[in-house]
Amino acid sequence: MTVEPDSRGLVIVYTGNGKGKTTAALGLCVRAVGWGNKIRIIQFIKSDWEYGELKGITRLAPEVDIDVMGAGCIGILGDDKPLEDHRSAAQRALVKAREIIDAGEYNIVVLDEINIATHMGLIAIDNVLQLIAGRPHGMHLVLTGRYADPRVIDVADLVTEMKEIKHPFQKGQLSRRGIDY
Ligand code: ATP
Ligand code: MG
């Protein structure tokens, strides 16, 4: 991994109920790719709609790789999977995240929706804190999702809370291709 020798990696958290957490992380990826950085994105709770991201990210290959590890939308959109399925998917994502972080081959690792996985009790907060504490010196970690745990916020270097002021959903408008997925 190419890192500036004295630069410790940052822990970056995008949380809150407003739109823009995952897209903020993706924007960071675009910027970092401009500098030739290598990035790995691990999606903890897959949205079945996120085709836009998947297609777009393939254009950022080989610098950016993505693993879609979740078991689909949780608790919404007719989700009829037992919680145990979501739990085992999130646990697999956690194991994958640990392998990737330990291997130290990426400048940035994005753990998309990991905050939700913790909030829903699918993974233990202690495991997330261990991931953060054990990251290689120069690796940046990005954790997205609503309801970031206060202990994650506590150890983070950069925390942004997206706050909903308005969203078309409030007027009953459905998701739009290219904007929401
Ligand atoms: P995005 O992926 O657009 O950056 P996000 O990561 O902040 O959004 P999530 O909580 O991951 O938001 O929700 C995923 C989906 O829900 C996306 O399609 C997003 O556009 C939509 N969404 C996000 N915030 C809101 C909101 N406040 N009201 C309604 N829908 C929302
Ligand atoms: Mg998101």
**What are the tens digits of pLDDT across the range 102-152?**
999 999 999 999 999 999 999 999 999 999 999 999 999 999 999 999 999
Beta bridge partners of 133: none
CATH number at residue 59: 3.40.50.300
User: What pLDDT is attached to residue 155?
Assistant: 98
> Is residue 4 pLDDT above 90, yes or no?
no
Is residue 62 a part of any domain in this protein? yes
| Distance in Å, CA 103 to ligand 1 centroid | 31
Which one-letter DSSP state was computed for residue 44? S
Please indicate, yes or no, if residue 180 is contained in any of the structural domains. no
Between the two ends of the chain, the Cα-to-Cα distance in Å is 31
Q: Kind and range of the H or E element at 85?
A: helix 83-103
Is 2 contained in some domain?
A: no
Q: Judge if the beta carbon of residue 98 lies within 6 A of ligand 1.
A: no
Q: Give the tokens for residue 179.
A: 């904007």
Q: Mean pLDDT across the stretch 26-53?
A: 88
Yes or no: say if 34 and 162 are a contact pair by the CB < 8 Å rule: no
Residue 95 lies in a domain: yes
Q: Please indicate, yes or no, if residue 4 is contained in any of the structural domains.
A: no
The range of the structural domain enclosing residue 44 comes to 11-171
Q: Which of 12, 13, 15, 19 for mutating ligand 1's site (highest number of atoms within 8 Å of CB)?
A: 19
CA 30 to CA 59: how far, in whole Å? 10
Residue at 160 is within a domain: yes
Q: Indicate the number of domains in the chain.
A: 1
Out of 29-33, 63-67, 77-81, 102-106, least confident range: 77-81
Q: How many CA atoms lie within 13 A of 51 on its CB side?
A: 6
- Distance of alpha carbon 144 from alpha carbon 61, whole angstroms: 22
